[in-house]
Amino acid sequence: MAAITDINIILRYLTNPATDLTTNIYMITRKKENNDFFYNIFTAETHDDIAIQLNNIFTDHLKHIFEKNKDFREYDIDDSTNEYLQYIPQSSVSAANDIFTKIINNDADPFAINTEMFNNLWTYAVKIELDDNNKVVWFRKYNKSMVFKKGNLDAMFFKDGKFSKIEHDVFKVDNKVDCFIWNDEIYISQHNNFEKIFSYEDQYEAKSSEALQMIKETFSYIDHDSLKIYVEKDSSQKRKLAAILKNGVYGKYGFNEVTATIEKYGLDIEVNTNEQKLNLTPKDSRRFLKILNDDYLRSEVTKIRYESIAKRKGQR
């Protein structure tokens, strides 16, 4: 499992002057067809000066993790903080598995600039071959503002005392790393970008639909049609629904348990005691879902009640 020792191992490779690193950058496009995403991978020769810069970006990223002594925690769909390093098995993320396999096997098409490439450019990846047996691939989410097309007046270059329009397409690479793959695990620094890069957000979209069906079958004291409308365009509530399904404690929350939580935590949700109904507004739906996810807890020491999103039974 992922740990700080893995960061140390990679850093030793990267900072050892005797290590003969081989580094290449890959441009990855994404297209949606029939509700499925398809990725294509492109590459071209990477000059030494660019390779060195890419290695330095990744080295600095790992040094930051090491110096901050960041916690390592298993990926949790309900935990969107970037305060620590999350990890998830590579095999659990189908798109990551497919992309990584193609990159490692050098199964990439030649890079060519065209309209389709610009329209579908999604992310870039950097493969660093540490030795014959050890390779690491890191990823950064791309956006169209990071590409300057030739002739674009938003970008100029200075030469021979003159400002001129750029003569070639320019691709910007910043100094950030969203995630990387090492030893069959994905290490996640930027939670939201990781989900976007590998279309992982679609997985909690599917789980949220399953959770709504579960709520409809289990909880008779709310208006399910209204709840469905409230969460339909709210990604945070869909994420919460997926977490509820994974957490599995919702079965303990009958009408009495829910109303007791509302009263103890002052949640201001309208309760019809006679009819045993909850009247949910859009704002109330968020609070109701937090109840089902067991997000409201009390300190055993101070007896103060809290809303706790990142609940964990323990951590390494």
Average of pLDDT values for 180-191? 95
Predicted confidence band at 313 (pLDDT cuts at 50, 70, 90)?
very low
Residues 6+ apart with CB under 8 A from 227: 212, 215, 280, 285, 288
- In the 8-state DSSP scheme, what is residue 219? -
Q: Residue 146: its pLDDT value, please?
A: 64
Percent of residues, the chain, with pLDDT higher than 90: 55
Q: Residue 81: its pLDDT value, please?
A: 73
Establish if 98 belongs to a structural domain. Answer: yes
* Cβ 174 vs Cβ 156: under 8 Å: no
Claim to verify: residue 82 and residue 176 sit in the same structural domain: yes
Claim to verify: residue 185 and residue 272 sit in the same structural domain: no
b/e sequence 9-27, b meaning 16+ C-beta within 10 Å: ebbebbeeeeeeeebbbbb
For the chain, the average pLDDT equals 86
H-assigned helices in the chain:
4-15, 48-67, 94-104, 115-120, 191-197, 201-218, 224-232, 235-247, 255-264, 282-292
The span from the CA of 186 to the CA of 91, in Å, is 9
Strands 147-148 and 170-171, bridge-based pairing: antiparallel
Claim to verify: residue 237 and residue 294 sit in the same structural domain: yes
Range of the domain at 68: 4-199
Claim to verify: residue 34 and residue 179 sit in the same structural domain: yes
Q: Which of 199, 224, 241 is the last residue of a domain?
A: 199
Claim to verify: residue 150 and residue 243 sit in the same structural domain: no
Establish if 66 belongs to a structural domain. Answer: yes
Establish if 314 belongs to a structural domain. Answer: no
Q: Residue 192: its pLDDT value, please?
A: 87
Q: Residue 283: its pLDDT value, please?
A: 87
Claim to verify: residue 236 and residue 285 sit in the same structural domain: yes
Average of pLDDT values for 194-201? 89
Claim to verify: residue 215 and residue 232 sit in the same structural domain: yes
Claim to verify: residue 195 and residue 213 sit in the same structural domain: no
Claim to verify: residue 171 and residue 248 sit in the same structural domain: no
* Cβ 204 vs Cβ 92: under 8 Å: no
Claim to verify: residue 170 and residue 258 sit in the same structural domain: no
Q: Residue 80: its pLDDT value, please?
A: 65
Q: Which of 199, 217, 238 is the last residue of a domain?
A: 199
Establish if 278 belongs to a structural domain. Answer: yes
Per residue in 49-65, pLDDT (tens digit) is 999 999 999 999 999 99
Predicted confidence band at 315 (pLDDT cuts at 50, 70, 90)?
very low
Residue 147 has pLDDT above 70, yes or no: no
Q: HSE-up of 256 (CA within 13 Å, CB side)?
A: 0
Average of pLDDT values for 104-121? 84
Average of pLDDT values for 191-217? 87
pTM: 0.75
Per residue in 240-268, pLDDT (tens digit) is 898 898 888 898 999 999 999 999 999 99
Quickly count helices (H) and strands (E) in the chain.
Answer: 10, 17
Average of pLDDT values for 154-174? 67
Claim to verify: residue 185 and residue 37 sit in the same structural domain: yes
Q: Which residues pair with 128 in a beta bridge?
A: 23, 136
Predicted confidence band at 36 (pLDDT cuts at 50, 70, 90)?
confident
Average of pLDDT values for 5-22? 93
